[in-house]
Amino acid sequence: MDDFNETLIAAANAARTTAQRFEIKYVISEAVAQAISAHIAPYVVPDPAGAQYSVVSVYLDTPDLDLYWRSFVGECHRYKLRIRSYDDNEEGMDPLFLEVKQRINQITRKTRVAILREKLDEVIADRNAPDECLCRRGDPAAAAHANRFCEMMAFLAATPRVAVKYRREPFVSRVDHEPLRITFDRRLACAADTSSVWNGCAPWRELPEVPVVLEIKFTDCYPAWVERLARQFDLRQESFSKYVYCVDALRREGFALAGNANNRMDTPEICMREFT
């Protein structure tokens, strides 16, 4: 089986936690991450989609970075538009995913659709993803997700702003009916030049001050052992957005990414209502 089909199958295997879920995040040290990995070993197994892989995302935002500001101030109803790959071979043939991630209080919902990598520039320029751009042609659900992404991109005048990359180590519950996923994200890096991300020339800036981001994702409720884990390691939940952190890091280095807190647009609520 070729890498292209393996990537699509891996995405399908992970789909059970992409519709609606709760997410809890913790920023921890490498030493704590190793201790937690050992502690959870009896309860989890490596994700069948891949024991470790790179996640590369390009985030889109409005001219005033309105989506950034919604996350920065912690608004209870916010969302992100991003283009994502699950490998760091920028010149590979694996598909890219157009994703909309919405958050309402503690509940998150993500929709995504796979597109052909060579069609990305066309999709961004035309703000349209016709059937020939999709990996699953003739699929009404894929077409609906693609149309929603492109409509929001056009309505908000959103364009690529910042690229984010990290290395993910994912685990899933040993219990088949327990929709739990735990991930350790390491080697966080960012780039302001999003045009070079997919051609292998991105000037990545590593952010070693963020050693590991631990994410616990579940639906409805989490098992009792997760609560004991948080108590034993004294984990303190944090509102941590990789996109927000990377925008702030690039700004500190002098990159002009636009976006003025005193001149931010009000995101049209029509877009927000589409996902409620």
7-48 pLDDT, tens digit per residue, is 433 443 444 344 468 889 999 999 999 999 999 999 999 998
User: What local confidence, expressed as pLDDT, does residue 44 receive?
Assistant: 96
Greatest mean pLDDT among 79-83, 173-177, 234-238 lies in 79-83
Q: How far apart are CA 81 and CA 96, in angstroms?
A: 13
pLDDT digits (tens, 9 = 90+) for 160-172: 999 999 999 999 9
Identify whether 203 is part of a domain.
Answer: yes
Identify whether 16 is part of a domain.
Answer: no
Identify whether 1 is part of a domain.
Answer: no
Identify whether 2 is part of a domain.
Answer: no
Question: What pTM did the predictor assign?
Answer: 0.85
End-to-end CA distance of the chain: give it in Å, rounded: 39
245 near 207, Cβ under 8 Å?
Answer: yes
Output 88 or 220, whichever has higher pLDDT. 220
Identify whether 241 is part of a domain.
Answer: yes
Mean pLDDT of 180-185: 96
The residue segments making up the domain with residue 69 are 22-273
pLDDT band of residue 91 (cuts 50, 70, 90) is low
User: What local confidence, expressed as pLDDT, does residue 198 receive?
Assistant: 83
Mean pLDDT of 124-153: 95
pLDDT digits (tens, 9 = 90+) for 253-274: 998 876 554 444 444 443 444 4
Identify whether 4 is part of a domain.
Answer: no
User: What local confidence, expressed as pLDDT, does residue 104 receive?
Assistant: 85
Greatest mean pLDDT among 52-61, 71-80, 196-205 lies in 52-61
Q: Residue 104: count other Cβ atoms within 10 Å of its Cβ.
A: 15
Place of tokens 């990995």: 37
Q: Residue 55: give its domain's CATH number.
A: 3.20.100.30
pLDDT digits (tens, 9 = 90+) for 189-238: 999 999 889 877 889 999 999 999 999 999 878 889 999 999 999 998 88
Q: How far apart are CA 245 and CA 213, in angstroms?
A: 12
Mean predicted lDDT score pLDDT of the chain: 85
Identify whether 11 is part of a domain.
Answer: no
Question: What's 134's DSSP letter?
Answer: B
Number of domains in the chain: 1
User: What local confidence, expressed as pLDDT, does residue 88 receive?
Assistant: 62
Percentage helix, strand, coil, to 5, in the chain? 35, 30, 35
Alpha-helical regions (H) of the chain: 3-13, 30-40, 66-72, 120-126, 140-155, 224-232, 242-252, 269-273
User: What local confidence, expressed as pLDDT, does residue 220 receive?
Assistant: 78
- In this predicted structure, which of 18-22, 95-99, 173-177 has the lowest mean pLDDT? 18-22
Identify whether 10 is part of a domain.
Answer: no
